[in-house]
Structure 1
Amino acid sequence: MEIKRIQCPNCGVVLDVRNSKMEDEKVITCPQCKAVLKVRFRHEAPLEAKTVLGGGYNGGETQLGGLKGTTQLASAPNTKSCCLCVDERSYPLAIGLNTVGRKAPSSQASLQIETDDRYMSRRHAKIEVKEVVGIRQAIISNDQNKNATYVDGQELQSGDAVILRDGSEIIMGKTHVIYKER
């Protein structure tokens, strides 16, 4: 039986996923937030280490070993960077909270988009980028905007938080923005 320790990208709870049938991928439901998660397993010869890495999350992923006192280390997955693209210009998103808005002398946005669109607020949206077990996830919500925000054609209501996917189209005011993962 193979056991993999993961962290739920939605609520942060750490879970041990058992793979008794040696499947390549297993679908589970987080017991805390009820999110549906896909867990991939690698069936390669593991590296054995005598020290156990503390904290569970170290930029890679830690798996529980089959032998007492050992830890299997999986290679860290390729972490993708993410950005917002407007026309030919790219605006990288940092891990953590990114405030997105129109570039202006009085703008307090951490990511300021150069546009003449007065319908885009100076603090239009918030995009929180989380990295969990080597996977980045970007979540958008409204900030201090007076005009609508749309994600893939759906208006973002006050209090909504939407997970962005590679290629998601965001409209802030009249400005079209594409979310990209690289």
Structure 2
Amino acid sequence: MARVKICPKCGAENSPGSAFCINENCGWDLSGVKSVDKEAPKPAPDPDPGKKAPEDNAVPPGKDWAKICPKCGRANRVVAKQCVACHENLKFLIEKTLVDKSLLQGSSGAPAPEPPAPKPVNKVIASLNAPDGRCILKIDTLHPITVIGRENVMADYLASRDYTSRLHAEIHVMGDRLAFVDKGKNGTYINNVKMSPGSTEVLKDGDKVSMGDRWPDDWTKSQAGCFIVAYETGV
């Protein structure tokens, strides 16, 4: 005949090896309760059974009773049958420990929720300035790849620069530096040295970039799109 432990507080049936009542609203300590035949008459619940359940003991604010998993050290609620972290069997674990309630988040069965990911912090890496010193564009970490050309970013500035392609280049953020990827039909010059078609160049502070032709003596009349790199760190 099957045997059970009858919780003296709420009357719930528990397996003979239960250390605590399975009723999640009860959780009574059953370590001293003897098992009985399941078909035997059940005693009426005792409103004051004398043995206090862990959660009825005086608990300091912000604390709660927990089972500490002997395998991985995770804090679990006292009614837990297995560790929510490593699934170690906790049915027969009687020892209880006071812990911060925050350690029991998710220990009712699901893993504790992950903290929200921090919002990315935007950082300006460099400015692309016109030859007269005006800032044309700021490159920041929230935009790791910027496509520039007469029909992309800087379109207003490049509208009359016919030697600059509609999609002339990509600028990639690489840590605290910028890499210039040439994609234009007429080529790109850095400090009047022509890049190999389709190549990539890491830009230095003060580099003069001219898209479509060499750096002009009078940039206002040139058909090339020109800018000077100015890093925030100045390196």
Shorter chain as denominator, the TM-score bin is 0.3 to 0.5
| TM-score where L is the length of structure 2 | 0.37
More helix by share: 2
Higher relative contact order (CA 8 A, sep 6+): 1
More strand by share: 1
